[in-house]
């Protein structure tokens, strides 16, 4: 069954249309009709003609036209049969059904296009016996089939009534059929004609109609017709249900549309639609915007899409927010750089004390910009311990060169979408941190601080440090792609400055893109200057003492620095000065006045007893104890290495939370000392009779690295020879089994730590001399440096 069939479907692609039956009672006259044994045959493609039914037929084939013309001239009788295959253009005798209907040609009409239309009425069923001729048209011998009288079955009237009811229901459910058709059905009184009329006009398969025609028994034919009609009724009901549902949805949409139009009209009366006003404002902004052609085209596409959308649809806000971002981004808007190098140097000197290397690098960058007018911004990385002013230096640089300043905190960042943005189709999607900050500062060439770049997270959610590779590559960042923006953005004019405490935690590929500038910790003298210029005035202002006369001299500041802080930066010093100011504020609020000058005794009264002391280096003077220098991410520090010998079998024990490299340094020192025992006046037998224990105090703190090598050897040699290590002597350097001393890193931090601790002599590898020369001589005043190449020289200098 064809799925979209329905009863009496008017638009069906057939060559006939149903005609209202006339002369329903011609059946009585047809009984006396003389029908010859041989008739011209007219094949029909798409339908079956039943006795009594009137049909218009358009005849197009030459054979059929000749057959119709000859029949019309004679007795107007013609045999009508259905083709087995409707698609066959030129059927043969074998392609025709065996049972057909004798028809009378009621009317023949010649058409302007050369075709012929006839109106025929079925008379009697016949059977094709033999085909007499096929040229110029089909002519065959026929045998008329007997027509049963109206059956006398008790249920036949009920069957006929059911056929009428089913056909009427199908007509009512089919919107394309006129309701008058049901009136015609009710007025048909002849049961046989009713069966033939309904069979002819129902929309079922050709084979089904042919099978109805071939049934001789009228009762059997009526029962089969009921089965077909019931199936057609079910399908018509289903289709009507689907159509009604669709119509309801369309009606709701039309209702919503009309209401929206009315709402739009009301808004226009009240002063215009808000959404239209917003879109028009966006268009005005876009006309004044300086942006690349690709951005202009994308905005144009987006605004056209927005105009077609209804504000209540979910995608409206997505498209609106995306266009809003495009309008807010500065694109080709840049701030003018201040190329006055003297002014820039003055600003940098006022804001930060020292840091000559960084200031020189910024001035070089400005000088090239001044000469060339344009260059790709460098990607700088300030590396140093906490609290020395790396982040604040970035703000100072922006101030010096006249650019906007933005800061992106990367500490703990674990999602690469925070850098590149999310796809805008996600709920809560937003651009990445880079574009967000550029949008906020309204400039495409700001100074952008990427703070704590060494503390970026890395887990299953993504690797932000890999996303930063594109941002921090001068060859790529002019086409930075943000997932939310869906467009390339030029970051090449942004001056990126990263800050880090530990270079080892930065991904190697990312580290390769950074221009590393080391920032060492401050010497005591530098801290005094920083305190006088910045920290003391800041804390006075913060505690309401800006207008009160209060002087803190250099000696008092030195005491606070040496006795109450142990750091490379100045954060702890700032906190101690805050404690002093709080005490002074309390005094002033209570008594109405304070002492104008802070004394050493006042410091001890306010801050309590000294937390750190250099006396430990005097009391620790005993054989087996040496002082080493260490580097940590918070700056330089000093550490003791203690060695003690006990009765045993020459085994070595190491304690103090040491790493593998430090343990290997101890084993190397012991092996070298054992191999050269006689040279240093040590009995070789001792190495077999004594157990050796090396301990590094502050066991809770992990320690590692090769720089304690010469300190361990000095401690071992002191323990085995009984000679003490000179007081106030510190050392750092790596050793080899051949007794050579190798250079180590972090020299400035280590030297300043020794200076803070009150040490007087430092033993270093001769290759580290260049690092000492970079330190300002006034900061290491009072320190004596010994540069060595071999362990023999170390022991000669270190042991008493």
Determine contact, residues 10/177, Cβ cutoff 8 Å: yes
Structure tokens at 793: 């020289």
Q: How many CB atoms lie within 10 A of CB 256?
A: 12
| CA–CA distance, 11 with 566 (Å, rounded to integer) | 98
- 83 phi, psi to nearest 5 deg: -75, 145
Q: Residue holding tokens 């003492």?
A: 545
Active-site pick, 174, 417, 707, 718: 707
Classified as helix, coil or strand, 601 is: helix
Can you tell me the distance from the alpha carbon of 66 to that of 278, in angstroms, rounded to the nearest whole number? 75
Instruction: For residue 750, indicate whether it is catalytic.
Output: yes
Enumerate the H helices of 101-217 as residue ranges. 156-173, 180-187, 191-201, 206-214
What are the φ and ψ backbone dihedral angles of 43, each rounded to 5 degrees? -75, 135
- Cα 255 from Cα 460, distance rounded (Å): 50
d(CA 107, CA 555): 132
Instruction: Please count the other Cβ atoms lying within 10 Å of the Cβ belonging to residue 513.
Output: 22
The alpha-carbon radius of gyration of the chain (Å, integer) is: 53
Tokens describing residue 527: 């801290």
Measuring CA to CA, how many Å separate 252 from each of 150, 256, 561, 570?
53, 6, 80, 72
Q: Are 405 and 396 in contact (CB under 8 A)?
A: no
Q: What do you get for the CA distance between the two ends of the chain, in Å?
A: 115
CA atoms within 13 A on the CB side of 563: 14
Residue pair 55/90 in contact (Cβ under 8 Å)? The answer is no
Q: How far apart are CA 176 and CA 667, in angstroms?
A: 103
Residue 613 CA to residue 621 CA, distance in Å, equals 15
- Give the number of other CB atoms < 10 A from CB of residue 214: 16
Q: How far apart are CA 404 and CA 433, in angstroms?
A: 16
| Short-list 670, 652, 650, CA closest to 712 | 670
Rounded-to-integer distance, Cα 239 and Cα 174, Å:
9
CB atoms within 10 A of CB 132: 14
Name the catalytic one among 123, 690, 750, 755.
750
Helix (H) or strand (E) holding 277: helix 274-288
Closest by CA position to 487, among listed 328, 295, 317: 295
Is 707 among the residues known to form the active site? yes
Distant-in-sequence, close-in-space partners of 118: CB < 8 Å, separation ≥ 6: 56, 57, 59, 68, 72, 105, 106, 107, 108, 109
Which residues have a Cβ under 8 Å from the Cβ of 757 and sit 6 or more positions away?
614, 617, 638, 730
User: What's the CA gap between 246 and 415, in Å, rounded?
Assistant: 47
Please tell me whether residue 265 adopts helix, strand or coil conformation. Answer: helix
Q: How far is CA 188 from the centre of its chain?
A: 73
Structure tokens at 706: 């090769």
Number of H-type helices and E-type strands within the chain: 29, 24
Say if residue 242 is exposed, middle or buried (CB neighbours under 10 Å; 0-12, 13-18, 19+): exposed
User: Among 173, 174, 162, which residue's Cα sits nearest to residue 198?
Assistant: 162
Residues acting as catalytic residues: 707, 750
């Amino acid at each position: 069954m064809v799925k979209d069939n329905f009863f009496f479907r008017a638009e069906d692609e057939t060559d006939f249309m149903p005609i209202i039956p006339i002369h329903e009672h011609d059946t009585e006259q047809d009984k006396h009709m003389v029908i010859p044994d041989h008739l011209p045959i007219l094949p029909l493609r798409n339908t079956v003609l039943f006795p009594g039914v009137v049909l218009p037929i358009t005849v197009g084939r030459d054979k059929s036209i000749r057959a119709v013309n000859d029949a019309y001239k004679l007795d107007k009788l013609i045999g009508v049969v259905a083709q087995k295959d409707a698609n066959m253009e030129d059927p043969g005798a074998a392609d025709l059904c065996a049972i057909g209907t004798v028809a009378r040609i009621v009317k023949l009409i010649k058409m302007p296009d050369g075709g012929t239309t006839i109106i025929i009425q079925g008379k009697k069923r016949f059977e094709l016996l033999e085909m007499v001729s096929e040229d110029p048209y089909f002519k065959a011998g026929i045998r008329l089939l007997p027509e049963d009288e109206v059956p006398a079955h008790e249920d036949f009237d009920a069957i006929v009534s059911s056929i009428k009811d089913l056909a009427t229901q199908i007509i009512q459910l089919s919107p394309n059929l006129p309701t008058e058709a049901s009136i015609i059905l009710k007025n048909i009184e002849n049961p046989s004609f009713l069966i033939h009329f309904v069979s002819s006009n129902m929309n079922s398969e050709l084979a089904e109609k042919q099978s109805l025609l071939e049934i001789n028994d009228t009762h059997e034919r009526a029962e089969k017709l009921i089965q077909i009609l019931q199936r057609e009724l079910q399908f018509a009901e289903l289709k009507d249900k689907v159509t009604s549902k669709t119509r309801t949805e369309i009606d709701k949409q039309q209702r919503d549309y009309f209401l929206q139009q009315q709402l739009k009209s009301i808004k226009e009366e009240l002063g215009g639609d808000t959404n239209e006003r917003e879109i028009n404002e966006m268009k005005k902004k876009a006309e004044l915007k300086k942006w690349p052609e690709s951005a202009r085209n994308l905005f144009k596409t987006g605004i056209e899409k927005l105009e077609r959308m209804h504000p209540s649809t979910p995608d409206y806000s997505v498209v609106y927010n995306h266009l809003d971002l495009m309008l807010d981004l500065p694109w080709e808007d840049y701030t003018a750089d201040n190329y006055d190098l003297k002014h820039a140097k003055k600003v940098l000197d006022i804001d930060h004390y020292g840091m000559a290397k960084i200031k020189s690098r910024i001035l070089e960058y400005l000088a090239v910009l001044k000469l060339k007018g344009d260059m790709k911004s460098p990607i700088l990385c300030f590396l140093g311990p906490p609290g020395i002013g790396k982040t604040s230096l970035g703000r100072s640089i922006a101030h010096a060169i006249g650019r906007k300043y933005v800061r992106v905190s990367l500490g703990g960042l674990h999602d690469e979408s925070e850098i590149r943005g999310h796809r805008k189709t996600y709920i809560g999607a937003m651009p990445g941190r880079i574009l967000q900050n550029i949008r906020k500062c309204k400039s495409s060439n700001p100074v952008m601080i990427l703070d704590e770049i060494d503390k970026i997270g890395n887990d299953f959610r993504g690797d932000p440090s890999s996303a930063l590779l594109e941002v921090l590559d001068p060859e790529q960042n002019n086409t930075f792609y943000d997932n939310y923006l869906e467009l390339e953005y030029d970051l090449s004019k942004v001056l990126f400055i990263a800050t880090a405490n530990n270079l080892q935690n930065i991904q190697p590929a990312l580290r390769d893109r950074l221009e590393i500038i080391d920032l060492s910790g401050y010497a005591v003298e530098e801290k005094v200057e920083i305190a006088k210029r910045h920290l003391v005035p800041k804390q006075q202002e913060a505690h309401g003492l800006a207008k009160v006369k209060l002087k803190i001299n250099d000696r008092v500041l030195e005491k606070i620095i040496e006795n109450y802080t142990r750091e490379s930066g100045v954060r702890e010093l700032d906190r101690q000065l805050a404690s002093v100011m709080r005490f002074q504020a309390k005094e002033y609020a209570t008594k109405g006045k304070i002492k104008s000058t802070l004394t050493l005794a006042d410091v001890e009264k306010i801050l309590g007893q000294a937390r750190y002391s250099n006396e430990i280096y005097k009391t620790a003077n005993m054989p087996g104890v040496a002082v080493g220098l260490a580097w940590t991410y918070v700056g330089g520090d000093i550490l003791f290495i203690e060695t003690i010998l006990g009765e045993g079998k020459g085994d070595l024990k190491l304690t103090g939370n040491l790493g593998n490299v430090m343990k290997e340094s101890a084993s190397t020192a012991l092996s070298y000392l054992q191999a050269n025992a006689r040279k240093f006046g040590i009995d070789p037998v001792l190495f077999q009779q004594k157990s050796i224990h090396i301990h590094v105090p502050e066991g809770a703190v992990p320690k590692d690295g090769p720089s304690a090598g010469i300190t361990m050897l000095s401690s071992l040699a002191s323990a085995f020879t009984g000679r003490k290590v000179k007081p106030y002597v510190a050392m750092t350097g790596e050793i080899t089994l051949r007794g050579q001393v190798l250079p180590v890193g972090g020299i400035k931090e280590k030297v300043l730590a020794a200076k803070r601790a009150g040490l007087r002599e430092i033993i270093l590898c001769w290759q580290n001399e260049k690092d000492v020369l970079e330190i300002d001589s006034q900061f290491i005043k009072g320190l004596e440096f010994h540069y060595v190449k071999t362990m023999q020289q170390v022991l000669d200098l270190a042991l008493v």
